[in-house]
Amino acid sequence: MNSSGQVMAINSDLQKERHKASFDVEEFSKWWYGGEEKLKFKRFLDSYILDDADEDIFHIQHLRHDEIYAAGIKSSIKVSQKLRKLQQKLRPGYTDIWPGLYLSSNLWGALPRANPFSVHYSMIVDGIRKLGTAEQYEKFGKRAENLEIIFAFAQTELAHGTYLRGLETRADYDRETQEFVMNTPTHTSYKWWPGGLGQTANHCIVVAQLYIDNSPKDLALFIVQIRDEETHMPLPGIDVGDVGKKMGFPAVNNGYLGLKNVRIPRTNMLMRHDQVLPDGSYIRGPNSAVKFLPLLIGRCVANESSAAFLAMACTIATRYSAVRRQCSLDSNAKQDEVQILDYRTQQNKIFPQIANAVAYKLTSIKLWQRYRETSRDIDEGKYESLSELHALSCCLKVLSTSDVAAGIECLRLACGGHGYLSSATLGDMYVDATSSCTYEGENTVLMLTVARFLLQSYRQLIVGEKVGSSMRYLERALNQMESFKWTGTWENMLQSLEIVAASKIRKAYQHLEERLKSGQNEAEAANNSGIEFVQAAELHGRSLVASIFYEELKGSNAALRSPQLNRILENLFELFLVKTILNNLNEIVRVIHITADEIVSLEKRLESSLKAIRPNAVSICDGFDFHDRNLSSTLGCYDGNVYERIFEAAKSNPLNAKPVPDVFHTHIKPFMKSKM
């Protein structure tokens, strides 16, 4: 349907592509969304939320920064009201729809590229539940859950981000009043970047250095009201505002916060674990890492969102490539121009990204499962699995965000000149995706965190201690290294990835020990080993993602799927695994003997897997089942009428509102007549 409400016929090339499908697209969609009922409800939600979405959010390239923010607030509130109403109608007393679906990627089409309340719901509500006392959740958490008060999570400062020990914000305990006195003592200690902080939030969880009697104790989390709930004016001692336009997420309203002698009650420190008693006694909790659960939640969300982002971009690029025709495969040029999706180079840009989208969808499911398990353990006072979950979330966050950002850019380039149009949406998707490489922990720093966990696991292994479930491959891989022979089966390739990761971990550990023995202190030795640490963490992650994908093929779920759908997933896994091996050959050949002929064989398998996916590419992307409003792209609509939509978008450009722009009369014409 175009802007005039006219229904447009399906492009004939897309119709032909859909007729080629060798599998049931509906079955794929059911698998992607977790079952028939979930898919059915998702489609109902599409119609319920998106059919009357505000038009402003589809033309944000024509809006000013303040207008985008206002449109974001308006549409976010409208969606929240509709979800609340639906929750009351279908499942009163539950939270699975409201607020459970508020951040779902299925609703992105009703919001202007990120929700101003996204941090509030992705991190705050569960953070207060997990880190606060029952009384604190009753006082703050329930109100936050109902959006009666709006929170931001203020950790990052102007001069400090991932290095938490360097945070300068102070919370000094005053015994006489039983209050904390909050200060950002310098400009560099101003909180900077928290989503929703600028003009939206009226409360904050502030991460600060806890001081008692001017003695530093540890980082702690404090609930601070920053604006009046009625007037929304900043409270005394509060300096708050928006950081300005940035790359991506234009409606999130990232902000800054300065605190000057702001007093809050003692009971506003989140004290389920660490505690400050009225007399100033400090009780340290059993595990200091637990206080950063909100960041861990954020990394789970980043992994999930990245998979959805990439699947959307794949849908746009694949549909466009089926419609776009260019040049001929006939050297005599007698043939009509062919679909660019028929070019092997185009397939090599697009199809690996489809496989990556599936891979990271599966890792997201696994990561959330591990989060829920660990969360239950923490509720029972068990913290043993927290460090492993922390490393897992860091690793998957890094790989998913970096691969997806690179993948979306590759898909944008695959769309040629039209990929540059704002109306194509791929450029906006890229800048939003690439920002995720920095928030919730900058990717390189997170990989160094993963490396520390890997080295610790290796130390445990060599002294005979038990290692976490994600590291159980380590001993097996090291033992198999000498006898390993390349055969090229899936299991063999997975094994090779484990062996290469294990070898790199061992070498990183050995080189670190050598530097320490040479007289370098721990910080120097770690810094000089940093490149190798990051490489070890990435190889570990590559092996992990491939294993999770493989588990889906060979696990119990396979029996529930048709042979045709299993074949599609197998084709995608073959492409994913072969591409992973080829991308990491420089590391593999250092550890494993693989001949030139075997490498050529892998390259032929890559070509074969691209060829196998080609007839089903459009239908696989149809199986992702994204509403046109979710995609919001002139290149990616279901009907494939690309050129009509591009032209329509250009005509709606405000610069074309008048046949002669005002600037012609005020500047261009006088200049032409000036003879200067």
Would you name the residues annotated as active-site residues? 440
Question: Backbone phi, then psi, for 71, in 5-degree steps?
Answer: -65, -40
Q: Are 338 and 328 in contact (CB under 8 A)?
A: yes
Question: Backbone phi, then psi, for 421, in 5-degree steps?
Answer: -65, 140
The residue behind tokens 């063999």 is: 492
Which of 629, 634, 631 has its CA nearest to residue 110? 629
Question: Backbone phi, then psi, for 593, in 5-degree steps?
Answer: -80, 115
Q: Are 183 and 261 in contact (CB under 8 A)?
A: yes
* Distance between CA atoms of residues 431 and 435, nearest Å: 6
* Distance between CA atoms of residues 404 and 387, nearest Å: 26
Helices (H), 34-171: 36-45, 65-90, 118-119, 125-131, 134-136, 142-145
* Distance between CA atoms of residues 392 and 398, nearest Å: 10
3-state secondary structure 449-474: HHHHHHHHHHHHHHCCCCCCHHHCHH
Which of 282, 305, 347 has its CA nearest to residue 617? 347
- In total, the chain counts a number of residues equal to 676
Q: CB under 8 Å to 77, separation ≥6 — which residues?
A: none
In one-letter notation, the amino acid at residue 1 is: M
Distances (CA, A) of 389 to 294, 296, 449: 13, 8, 12
Strand 203-212 with 151-154, pairing: parallel
Which of 515, 518, 481 has its CA nearest to residue 498? 481
* Distance between CA atoms of residues 429 and 544, nearest Å: 26
* Distance between CA atoms of residues 167 and 188, nearest Å: 9
